[in-house]
Structure 1
Amino acid sequence: MSLITVIAELKADMELSTLSEAEISQIIRRVFTMLGWDADNRREVKPEHAVANGWVDYALVPHDVPQVFVEVKKGGEPLERHQEQLLEYAGKDIGLSVLTNGLDWWFYWEQRRFATASIDKDAPAEIAELLSSVIGKENVDTGKAFETALSLAELPKAWEALLAEPDELLVELVAHKTQELCGEVPDAGAIRAFLGALPDAHALQPPNAAGRKRGNGGKPDLTLVFNGKRYPVDYWKMCLVRLCEVLASIHKDRFADVLTVPSLNCPFGQRPYFSRRESELQEPLPIGDTGIYVHTFVGSHQVKRLVGLIASHFGHDPPVIEESRPP
């Protein structure tokens, strides 16, 4: 019998939400077994594991060292009532922990909930894959489970960063899909405004976990450092413009060589970074009085790469962009 089959049986069990904690605990032990753990070996699946301020229902113990805590509640019990208790049990020593009432499963990495599964709502195959990747014995043994938990926990931060400073590729993809749907290409600024209005990733997080503070997500203070000089700027794209202005003043006679910088490769064709014709660029900005415009439809990652490319094009070391956020 496979783990998917076991989960499908649970999905069909109409009494699951009414079972006692002891009955749910029996089900969890069965799941442990399907995940490769020896549920009858107290050295590997340790029940009532003592911690400084109580006992956690189960500790998964590969190589004689507790690595995962699992707290079990009765069927249908609201999990939000118990997450603080579990995270206190885990403290600083246990990075990966799980809270379940048999029907719902909440997964935590270092005090932050990073994934959930619902026997009632989710597909058995999807639940099995998540359980296997995060608390399967082989993956816990090898450490891969912790890598998976960390990567899933960082996803909200990655999404928040994309929304705060939309990556060029993300905006391009939205523009392309919009064109497919309605035949019109929206303005890049409108797309950025739309993405910026989406709920940030932290707004989608559960009430958490020891009330940890987060940064204000405000616009960073930026400074372009080039050739020993510092140039404060307001926006990422202005790092690009400012560098070009400096290079234009240094290389007056040959700044037009910037027009030979390799074109931008994107999923929808090649576009130049520089041109004398504004119509060839997205969000073009002039470079001083050179008559040359620069493509500024770029996010922070593209700016960091592009300033290095342009500086090296003129024989200079890559500039540094210092970034700090207001307290």
Structure 2
Amino acid sequence: MEELRNAIINVLRKVRAHRNLYVRNEEAVKQHLIGEIFQALGWDWNNPEEVRPEERTEDGRADYSLILDGGVFAYVEAKNMGVNILKRDEPLRQLARYCFNSGVRYGILTNGTVWIAVKAFEEGSRLWDRVLVAVNVEEEPLERAVLKLSLLSKARIRDIERLSSLLKALELSFEGLRREGYSEKTLVEYLTSREGSTTVPVTELRGDESPKAAYVYDNGWKLLPLPEKSIKGVLLAVLLYIEKKSSGYQREEIRKAYEHIRTLKLDPKTALEVLRKLEEEEKLRIAVEL
């Protein structure tokens, strides 16, 4: 989802630089913001076999239709950023009418920064009860926005109802357990722990262990390849991880440190001290599997 993450960041940059344009100009929102997000979601924005602009319906023209398996899967309605689509009912009702009268099951309403996906019809339900995804990329944490928007990707949108239901259940369970006194850290570690493994934070190591694997926490625990199964190997793996996340002078310095340590006969306890210092300075969470 790195491409989607980068697209959201780029959209936010554009909005910060040209907000007045996007507040009044719907066409600019379509061309500069919406298209970039859909491209990152895997839709070929300029291919009429996947995306068609100005799709005619009985109630007017939908701004876009998303095509899957040769048929319209969802209509997309665009507004400028001056339209508060989370508070105004009419834009969503307009979209629902387009869908209902054409037999299209799903609709997506967006003003470039706020996105709403809705199930257009279901007997005995109200419109806002059928909202599957609602995300405001300006106000929500980036990773949360990325995950929610990913439900609109070409690869996942067929399962949007099931995935939306799972995501809502996760959110409700998570918040319920937090209200019961469990910390967010404890819950995240529970969800991301690996069954059958003994994973220990570096702060609890003695230095005489033989690690099988190393992990760093980066929006979830990520496995780091070990150049050797030792505390020194964990240190080298962490340095490579930091190098990839760095740039310019800092990256060069980390590479030099890596090459220097790689050639040393480093005492395990010294390697552990360096690891703990790195964890503190770089604000990392590092763990090893024993």
Q: Give the TM-score normalised by structure 2.
A: 0.49
| Bigger Cα Rg | 1
Higher helix share: 2
Q: Give the TM-score normalised by structure 1.
A: 0.44
